[in-house]
Structure 1
Amino acid sequence: MNIAITTPKRLYQEIGMSLQQRIRSGEFHVGDRLPPERDIAEAMEVSRSVVREAIIMLELQGMVEVRKGSGVYVTALPENIQEGVLPHSRIGSDIGPFELLQARQVVESQIAGFAAEHVTKNDISKLRDALNTERQQLETGHGDYDGDEMFHLTIAEASQNSVLSDIVKDLWLRRDDSPMWRQLHTRITNVTYRTAWLEDHEKILHALQRRAPEAARNAMWQHLENVKQTLFELSDVDDPQFDGFLFR
């Protein structure tokens, strides 16, 4: 007997499908502007980050258009769009970018603290190389994030634990393979924030050099908090005066 196994929908997918249903029912028509993210979040009792991810899902499906500084507008009806499906990805497999960043924050901060107890001189040398790569990419305006990724993966390797290293590699692979992550970045044209991230990395490296687990853990946590807040603020389309509190 074949047993059908259904994959639970992610929260952003549930919110996105709810918005689809409101469009389908005629509450919103093609050309209409959707309510501001903050209003949707309050009405559905979820964070704005989840609503942002739901809008990105609808954007990828071609149902809405995001207009910077103006809002989100309905561009197509959902009749011919299969619910829960993202283009160019496995059904239901994509992770929302802010959910992914939150997972990385929890995991990588703990790994950084653990790595501080096991880091070697060779690891420190590799981390310096990664920062140099990152610095050169910034100076030349290079669009890749090779140095950034190299830095985080090297910290995981410095834990001397292959399971932890594999976990971080998987998180980065999910990011690199995520249509939603790429779509989020289409809204962001100002990349000066990368300089601040390099400074964050230098603080993490300093804590690792001192073999200070708590300092390394806190520095990584704050770094990924800065990443979340910055990307959320820069990708906002509803309110140019966004207050900056991601989970308010």
Structure 2
Amino acid sequence: MEKMAVPPEKKQYQEIGDDLRNHIIQGLHPVGSRLPTERMIAEKYGVSRTIVREALLMLELQGVVDIRQGSGVYVMRIPAENEEEEERFFNSEIGPFEMLQARQLLESNIAAFAAKMATKADIDNLKRILEQEQRAIALNDTSQDNNKVFHLLLAGSSQNQMLLETVESIWRHMDASPLWQHMRGHIETRAYRLKWMGDHQTILAALRRRDVMGAWQAMWQHLENLKHSMLEFSDADAPDFDGYLFESVPIFQGKLQ
């Protein structure tokens, strides 16, 4: 008899976020109303305010609430019931380092393949987004996620729709992860944006040379740099810490054919 898969146990912030979401669906908090304070919610559920903050961030990422600094948390819309399956998928228990490991394994090989497959238009688009990011950094403009766009354009330059959709799926997981979003605040300062842009320039240079191995190494190193930066801001003793995944030796260390 075939065994049924057991869904992973939800984390505290997910349980609290789901409970608050259900209260909104039930009409306990109408659109435009302000939710109870973090302190009140923390006392109600017997958890820390940090966990409450993650739960509220999860709801904000879903577009259900708006967190206004110094004012409170306001209900923006009533969630539809048909959203539950998609939310369950993108709020599944996948840690930020597990997502990053998947990106490193996948995107390094995509970069190598793109070194063979990218068209002149692809190269021009990648160059344009780096120039756009350079201007944005100079103006301290954070309105556009040029980092994400660069990685999606690179995946698209493989000319393989399945690879592009896979990378898009990983980014949607990251966008829906409160832990990843919390980490972004540390790794998207001006200094780090300059660092990532330098990494991206190295990747693009390899693509322009049609250097397959160089593109693979440049992407691998870029995500390795991101990993080290994330580890600096992580609490290794936290129950949700999954940075131990990177203690293993990279699967691929030889030369691409």
Q: Decide: shared fold, TM above 0.5.
A: yes
Distance of aligned partners of 1:207 and 1:195 in 2 relative to their CA distance in 1, 3 Å threshold: same
**Counterpart in 2 of 1:193?**
192
Q: Which has the higher contact order (CA 8 A, sep 6+)?
A: 1
Distance of aligned partners of 1:159 and 1:6 in 2 relative to their CA distance in 1, 3 Å threshold: same
**Counterpart in 1 of 2:7?**
7
Note the C-alpha offset of 1:63.
3.4
1:106 and 1:62 mapped to 2: Cα distance?
A: 40
2:135 and 2:102 mapped to 1: Cα distance?
A: 29
Note the C-alpha offset of 1:97.
1.2
Would you say the 8 A contact 1:111–1:156 is kept in 2?
yes
**Counterpart in 2 of 1:63?**
47
Would you say the 8 A contact 1:133–1:146 is kept in 2?
no
Amino acid at match of 1:7: P
1:146 and 1:186 mapped to 2: Cα distance?
A: 13
Distance of aligned partners of 1:145 and 1:214 in 2 relative to their CA distance in 1, 3 Å threshold: farther
Note the C-alpha offset of 1:184.
2.5
Structure 2 alignment gaps of length 5 or more: 13-44, 63-86, 238-243, 248-257
2:189 and 2:151 mapped to 1: Cα distance?
A: 23
1:47-86 map, 5 Å: 63-64=47-48
> Structure 1-normalised TM-score?
0.61
1:108 and 1:189 mapped to 2: Cα distance?
A: 20
The 10-residue stretch of structure 1 (196-205 or 175-184) with the greater mean CA deviation from structure 2: 175-184
**Counterpart in 2 of 1:204?**
203
**Counterpart in 1 of 2:255?**
none
Amino acid at match of 1:146: D
Determine helix, strand or coil for the equivalent of 2:92: coil
Distance of aligned partners of 1:140 and 1:202 in 2 relative to their CA distance in 1, 3 Å threshold: same
1:108 and 1:188 mapped to 2: Cα distance?
A: 19
Structural RMSD (CA): 3.6
**Counterpart in 2 of 1:41?**
none
Q: Deviations over 1:122-146 (max 9, x none)?
A: 1110001110111112111122452
2:201 and 2:92 mapped to 1: Cα distance?
A: 34
Distance of aligned partners of 1:4 and 1:133 in 2 relative to their CA distance in 1, 3 Å threshold: same
Distance of aligned partners of 1:63 and 1:228 in 2 relative to their CA distance in 1, 3 Å threshold: farther
Would you say the 8 A contact 1:229–1:246 is kept in 2?
no
The 10-residue stretch of structure 1 (169-178 or 103-112) with the greater mean CA deviation from structure 2: 169-178
Distance of aligned partners of 1:101 and 1:218 in 2 relative to their CA distance in 1, 3 Å threshold: same
**Counterpart in 1 of 2:141?**
142
Amino acid at match of 1:122: A
Q: Does 1:151 align with 2:135?
A: no
Note the C-alpha offset of 1:231.
2.2
Q: Deviations over 1:181-223 (max 9, x none)?
A: 1123356684411111100000000000000111001100000
**Counterpart in 2 of 1:163?**
162
Distance of aligned partners of 1:6 and 1:151 in 2 relative to their CA distance in 1, 3 Å threshold: same
**Counterpart in 2 of 1:230?**
229
1:172 and 1:210 mapped to 2: Cα distance?
A: 28
Kindly indicate which of the two structures has a greater share of residues assigned to helix: 2
**Counterpart in 1 of 2:127?**
128
Would you say the 8 A contact 1:94–1:180 is kept in 2?
no
Would you say the 8 A contact 2:107–2:219 is kept in 1?
yes
Determine helix, strand or coil for the equivalent of 2:117: coil
Would you say the 8 A contact 2:199–2:222 is kept in 1?
yes
Distance of aligned partners of 1:119 and 1:246 in 2 relative to their CA distance in 1, 3 Å threshold: same
1:100 and 1:189 mapped to 2: Cα distance?
A: 17
Would you say the 8 A contact 1:187–1:235 is kept in 2?
no
Report the identity percentage: 41
Determine helix, strand or coil for the equivalent of 1:117: helix
Amino acid at match of 1:63: V
